[in-house]
Amino acid sequence: MPTYARHLIFHAALVLLFGLLLGAPYARAIKRGAAAHVVNSWRVAHLSLPIGATLMLATAPLLASLAVSEAVKWTLVVTLAL
């Protein structure tokens, strides 16, 4: 597996873990009856980060099959990882 794909998978794993860990404050906000905007903010954080990580995990194996230069592949990795 190329280095750029490994970097993307590693970053995706970290983002996925962090997004899943945000489920704890989200559940706490629901249980304590926080305001709707607070609950919605935690919901967005808890759901959007794993979606981005899933996109990175889906893109990583496809990078090797692209017919572009290494610089373009690294640019895609950096763009997705930010």
Q: How many domains does the chain have?
A: 1
Angle at the Cα of 43 (from 42 to 47), degrees rounded to 5? 120
pTM of the model: 0.83
Summarize pLDDT for 13-70 with one digit per residue, the tens: 999 999 999 999 999 999 999 999 999 999 999 999 999 999 999 999 988 888 888 8
Tell me the residue range of the domain where 12 lies: 3-81
C-alpha 70/C-alpha 4 separation (Å) is: 9
Q: Nearest 5°: phi and psi at 34?
A: -65, 165
